[in-house]
C-alpha cells in the first residue's frame, strides 16, 4: 500500500531535518509531515475499504454494469441539455403538461382565489361542498379503483364522521386537555401490537400514514447506529420492490441506499445478495409483507435469520398487508411468517388507514423494544417556548383522526377483519386464477410471482401491457401501471372485491381488443408492440427506454405544480 510504505521514509526525512535545523521549526515540520501522512493513509484506507465493499456487494461484473449505467445516465443527461435538444425537450414536456392540465384542472365557472370579503352563510358553504363532492371522478364507489378506498361502506363512514365531530378541535399534543384522545391513541397502538404478536416490552406510535411510519423506523435505526456504534455514514439495504417511502427516508436523512434485485420467478428479494452488501455502515435491513408493486411477501424468515446473525435491525413493511396479513391463516389462506414471532424483526409499519379501514391520515410503527422507539423521539429541553417533546414528525396532530381510527377498529373487530380478509384476498385469488386459466388471458398475461395477499400484478410477453392499462381506463377502471418490468396491478379492496367478475370480463375484452389491434398492425407491416398512445403507454412506454429520467422528473414536477393550480 502506498500509504504505509511512504510513512517511514518521510518520517526518516523529518528526523534528519530535526538534526539539521532549528529545533522549534523542525518539530513543527515533523508534525505537519506526520499529519499529512496520516491523512493520506486514512484517505487510502477509506477508498480501499469502499472498493472492497463494492466489489463484494455487487461482484466485478455488477460493479462494471453499474458504472456503465451511471455513465450512460450522465452522458444522456448532457445530451438532453445540449442547446437544440433542450428547447425541443422543454416544448414536449410543456405540451404533455398542457394535456394533463385539461384533465386535472377542469375549467370551473367560479374560482375562489382570495378570502371572501364577508364570511359565507353555512348553507352557502354546504351547497358548494355538495358540488365539489359531486365533481366528475373515477367511480371508487362502484369498485372501479384499485386500492385508494379500502372499505367505503356507509355505516362505517357515518360512524367515523360522528367520531370526527366529537373531537373536531382535539390535539394529542395537549393530553391534559384531550385525555380521551390520548387514551384512544395508546389503545390503537396496543391493539396493533397485539395483532403482530409483539413481545412484552414492545412499543409503538401512531403516525399520519405509511410514509411517516417508514421514515420514523429508518430514523430510529440511524440514530441507534450512531449512538451505539458511532456510524456517521449510514447505509441501508432494501429490496428494489420496497416502497419508495424508503427512498424518501434515504434522501431526507442522508442514508446511502442499496437496492437489491427481486428476481423471477419468486420476485422475492435475493437474501444472499442482501448479505453480501452488509458492511460496518449498515444500519437497517428491509423486507415487505407484501410489497406494493407485485403484492409479494419477501422471505422475512430468511431476512430475520440474517439480521439476527449480523446483529442488525430488520424492518418489515406491513403498510399494505396491514390488517390482512395477520388474518391470512385464520381465513384459511396460505401464509408465511412475517411478524415479531421472528426473532430478527425489530420494527413493523402497519397502516391502519389501509386494510384497518380507518380514515386516511392514520398509521402505526411498532418496535420490538421501547428503546428503539425512543430513538425516533424529538426532545428539545432548552427551547425558549418551553420544554418540548413530540413522538414523530408532526407537532400538533388531528385528534379527530385518532378518534376515527379508534372507532373503526372497535366497530369492525376481529370478526369483521377476518370476514374482510376472506372477501378481499378471496377476490384477488379468483382474479389470479382467471388470468391463469381463462382461454383469452392465459396465453397473453402472466401473474408475477405467487401473491398471497390482496394485490395481483401481471405482465405480458405478447402484448404491450400499457395498452391493456389504457384499455381498462377507457372502460372506467383505474388500475396501477408499474415499471421494470412493465406490468399492471390491481389492489383489491371491499368495493373492488364486489365487482371482480366484471373486472375479469373487461380485462378479457380489452386483451382481445389489444391483441386484434396488434395483429392488424403486424399485418400492415408496422411491427408488433407499437403503443396505441394512451396515457400509461405514453408515459411508461417512453420512460422505460430512457437512460436518464430527467424528462420524467420534469413531467412529475410539473404534475405536482398542477395540484396547486387554483
Residue ranges binding ligand PLP (CB under 6 A): 209-211, 214, 243, 245, 288, 291-292, 317, 319-320, 351, 363
Give min distance, CB of 147 to ligand PLP, in A: 8
Distance CA 514, CA 529 (A): 10
Q: How large is the angle between the packed helices 399-437 and 154-166, nearest 10 degrees?
A: 160
Q: Which three cell numbers stand for residue 26?
A: 523542525
C-beta closer to ligand PLP: residue 211 or 223: 211
C-beta closer to ligand PLP: residue 195 or 537: 195
Q: Which helix (H) or strand (E) holds 378?
A: strand 378-380
User: How many residues appear in the chain?
Assistant: 566
Give min distance, CB of 286 to ligand PLP, in A: 10
C-beta closer to ligand PLP: residue 287 or 464: 287
How does strand 455-460 pair with strand 445-447?
Answer: antiparallel
Give min distance, CB of 429 to ligand PLP, in A: 19
Distance CA 224, CA 426 (A): 41
Give min distance, CB of 489 to ligand PLP, in A: 11
Phi/psi of residue 2, each to 5°? -60, -35
Give min distance, CB of 285 to ligand PLP, in A: 16
The rounded Cα 85 to chain-centroid distance in angstroms is 33
The number of beta carbons lying within 10 Å of the beta carbon of residue 21 is 13
Give min distance, CB of 279 to ligand PLP, in A: 26
Residues 6 or more apart in contact with residue 360 via CB below 8 angstroms? 209, 353
Buried b / exposed e along 77-89 (16+ C-beta atoms within 10 A) = eeebeeeeeeeeb
C-beta closer to ligand PLP: residue 210 or 495: 210
C-beta closer to ligand PLP: residue 337 or 530: 337
Give min distance, CB of 360 to ligand PLP, in A: 8
Using DSSP, state whether 215 is helix, strand or coil.
helix
Nearest to 143 by CA among 472, 477, 433: 477
Give min distance, CB of 220 to ligand PLP, in A: 16
C-beta closer to ligand PLP: residue 239 or 534: 239
C-beta closer to ligand PLP: residue 288 or 376: 288
C-beta closer to ligand PLP: residue 96 or 424: 424
C-beta closer to ligand PLP: residue 210 or 356: 210
Give min distance, CB of 210 to ligand PLP, in A: 2
Give min distance, CB of 245 to ligand PLP, in A: 5
Q: Are 311 and 278 in contact (CB under 8 A)?
A: no
Residues 6 or more apart in contact with residue 501 via CB below 8 angstroms? none
Nearest to 147 by CA among 511, 497, 534, 504: 497
How does strand 445-447 pair with strand 378-380?
Answer: unpaired
C-beta closer to ligand PLP: residue 488 or 537: 488
C-beta closer to ligand PLP: residue 209 or 326: 209
Using DSSP, state whether 218 is helix, strand or coil.
helix
If you search the block for the grid coordinates 380507518, which residue do you land on? 358
By Cβ distance, which residue is nearest to ligand PLP? Answer: 210
Q: Are 217 and 350 in contact (CB under 8 A)?
A: no
The number of beta carbons lying within 10 Å of the beta carbon of residue 546 is 13
Distance CA 50, CA 105 (A): 49
Give min distance, CB of 266 to ligand PLP, in A: 17
Give min distance, CB of 320 to ligand PLP, in A: 3
Distance CA 242, CA 260 (A): 10
Distance CA 289, CA 274 (A): 17
Give min distance, CB of 427 to ligand PLP, in A: 18
Q: Which three cell numbers stand for residue 14?
A: 523529518
DSSP strands (E only) in 154-290: 203-207, 235-239, 256-260, 282-288
Whether the link from the prior residue into 265 is cis, omega within 30° of 0, is yes
Q: What totals of helices (H) and strands (E) does the chain contain, helices first?
A: 17, 13
C-beta closer to ligand PLP: residue 209 or 495: 209
C-beta closer to ligand PLP: residue 432 or 455: 455
Amino acid at each position: 500500500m502506498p500509504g504505509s510504505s511512504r510513512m517511514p521514509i518521510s518520517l526518516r526525512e523529518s528526523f534528519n531535518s530535526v538534526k539539521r535545523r532549528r529545533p522549534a521549526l523542525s518539530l513543527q515540520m515533523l508534525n505537519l509531515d506526520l499529519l499529512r501522512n496520516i491523512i493520506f493513509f486514512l484517505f487510502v484506507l477509506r477508498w480501499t475499504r469502499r472498493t472492497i465493499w463494492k466489489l463484494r456487494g455487487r461482484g466485478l461484473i455488477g460493479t462494471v454494469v453499474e458504472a456503465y449505467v451511471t455513465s450512460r445516465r450522465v452522458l444522456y443527461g448532457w445530451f438532453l441539455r445540449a442547446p437544440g435538444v433542450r428547447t425541443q425537450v422543454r416544448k414536449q414536456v410543456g405540451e404533455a403538461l398542457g394535456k394533463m392540465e385539461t384533465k386535472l384542472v377542469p375549467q370551473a365557472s367560479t374560482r375562489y382565489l382570495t378570502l371572501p370579503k364577508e364570511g359565507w352563510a353555512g348553507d352557502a358553504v354546504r351547497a358548494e361542498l355538495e358540488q365539489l363532492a359531486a365533481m366528475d371522478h373515477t367511480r371508487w364507489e362502484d369498485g372501479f379503483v384499485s386500492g385508494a378506498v379500502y372499505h367505503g361502506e356507509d355505516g362505517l363512514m357515518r360512524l367515523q364522521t360522528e367520531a370526527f365531530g366529537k373531537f373536531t378541535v382535539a390535539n394529542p399534543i395537549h393530553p391534559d386537555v384531550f385525555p380521551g384522545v390520548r387514551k384512544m391513541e395508546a389503545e390503537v397502538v396496543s391493539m396493533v401490537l397485539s395483532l403482530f404478536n409483539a413481545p412484552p416490552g414492545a412499543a409503538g406510535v401512531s403516525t399520519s400514514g405509511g410514509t411517516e411510519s417508514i421514515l420514523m423506523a429508518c430514523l430510529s435505526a440511524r440514530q441507534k447506529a450512531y449512538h451505539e456504534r458511532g456510524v456517521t455514514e449510514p447505509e441501508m439495504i432494501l429490496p428494489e420492490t420496497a416502497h419508495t417511502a424508503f427512498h424518501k427516508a434515504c434522501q431526507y436523512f442522508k442514508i446511502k441506499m442499496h437496492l437489491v434485485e427481486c428476481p423471477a420467478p419468486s420476485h422475492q428479494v435475493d437474501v444472499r445478495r442482501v448479505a453480501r452488501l452488509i458492511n460496518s455502515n449498515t444500519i437497517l435491513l428491509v423486507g415487505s409483507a407484501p410489497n406494493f408493486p407485485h403484492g409479494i411477501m419477501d422471505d422475512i424468515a430468511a431476512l430475520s435469520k440474517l439480521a439476527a446473525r449480523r446483529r442488525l435491525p430488520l424492518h418489515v413493511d406491513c403498510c399494505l398487508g396491514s390488517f390482512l396479513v395477520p388474518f391470512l391463516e385464520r381465513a384459511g389462506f396460505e401464509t408465511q411468517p412475517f411478524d415479531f414471532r421472528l426473532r430478527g424483526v425489530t420494527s413493523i409499519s402497519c397502516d391502519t388507514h389501509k386494510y384497518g379501514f380507518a380514515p386516511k391520515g392514520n398509521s402505526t410503527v411498532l418496535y420490538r423494544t421501547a428503546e428503539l422507539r425512543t430513538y425516533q423521539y424529538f426532545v428539545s429541553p432548552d427551547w425558549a417556548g418551553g420544554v418540548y417533546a413530540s413522538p414523530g414528525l408532526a407537532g400538533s396532530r388531528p385528534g379527530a383522526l385518532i378518534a376515527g381510527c379508534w372507532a373503526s377498529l372497535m366497530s369492525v373487530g376481529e370478526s369483521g377483519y377476518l370476514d374482510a380478509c376472506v372477501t378481499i384476498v378471496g377476490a384477488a385469488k379468483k382474479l389470479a386464477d382467471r388470468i391463469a386459466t381463462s382461454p383469452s388471458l392465459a396465453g397473453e398475461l402472466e401473474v408475477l410471482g405467487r401473491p398471497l395477499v390482496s394485490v395481483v400484478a401481471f405482465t405480458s410477453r405478447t402484448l404491450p401491457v400499457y395498452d391493456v392499462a389504457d384499455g381498462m381506463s377507457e372502460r372506467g377502471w383505474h388500475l396501477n401501471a408499474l415499471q421494470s418490468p412493465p406490468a399492471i396491478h390491481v389492489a383489491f379492496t371491499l368495493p373492488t372485491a364486489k365487482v371482480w367478475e366484471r373486472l375479469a370480463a373487461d380485462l378479457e375484452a380489452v386483451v382481445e381488443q389489444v391483441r386484434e389491434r396488434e395483429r392488424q398492425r403486424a399485418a400492415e407491416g408496422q411491427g408488433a408492440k407499437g403503443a396505441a398512445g394512451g396515457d400509461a403507454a405514453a408515459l411508461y412506454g417512453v420512460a422505460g427506454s430512457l437512460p436518464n429520467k430527467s424528462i420524467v422528473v420534469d413531467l412529475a414536477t410539473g404534475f405536482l405544480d398542477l395540484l396547486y393550480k387554483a
